Homo-oligomer: A and B are copies of this chain.
């Protein structure tokens, strides 16, 4: 969260800072970015930065929120329009991430952010994790056609979908074409839906 001082800044100055930061965050992974580069690019004094933001993390969080908006709200809307289909939800999220990358610089920025999400998801985005949001909004999800037997199964399903989707987002940036990447993701979702093993029911 930036300080009031930052919010009070004239828009042009705010935008200049945001643009400089995005450029820096797109350049290298988070740990390698430097505040020095940001303040130089934005043409503000070093001390001013600390008057606007607590830290580099603070700034990144702010910029991410600028892009993602209210994720919970978005998820709710998608779920309602999809009749609670959880697979469509994740596919929609995946696609809307791709659509966010409208120009070269946004593409680079998102690429850097998503590729560097840690397996453990410790830090940033924590509160906006699909897992937590979907736990809260369980009632919006149509569970009748899901293989849910125990209390824990719902959570497990969300975790699987989340892992695969985030991973797919990251690898999308490495594919030659977006189309190929999409196909791969859809293939993965199909396996999740129907299972990797043949003859599922005949075992029973």
Is there a chain B Cβ closer than 8 Å to A192's Cβ? Answer: yes
Is there a chain B Cβ closer than 8 Å to A35's Cβ? Answer: no
In chain A between 150 and 197, which residues have their CB closer than 8 angstroms to a CB of chain B? 152-153, 156-157, 159-160, 163-164, 166-167, 169-171, 173-174, 184, 187-188, 191-197
Measured CB to CB, the nearest residue on chain B to A192 is B196
Is there an interface contact between A160 and B156, defined as CB atoms closer than 8 Å? no
Task: Kindly report how many copies of this chain are found in the complex they form together.
Answer: 2
Q: How far is the CB of A187 from chain B (nearest CB, A)?
A: 5
0/1 interface trace, chain A 114-139, chain B, CB 8 Å (1 if under): 11111110100000000000000000
CA A114 to CA B201, docked complex, whole Å: 36
Is there a chain B Cβ closer than 8 Å to A202's Cβ? Answer: yes
Q: Which residues of B lie under 8 Å from residue A169 when comparing CB positions?
A: 119
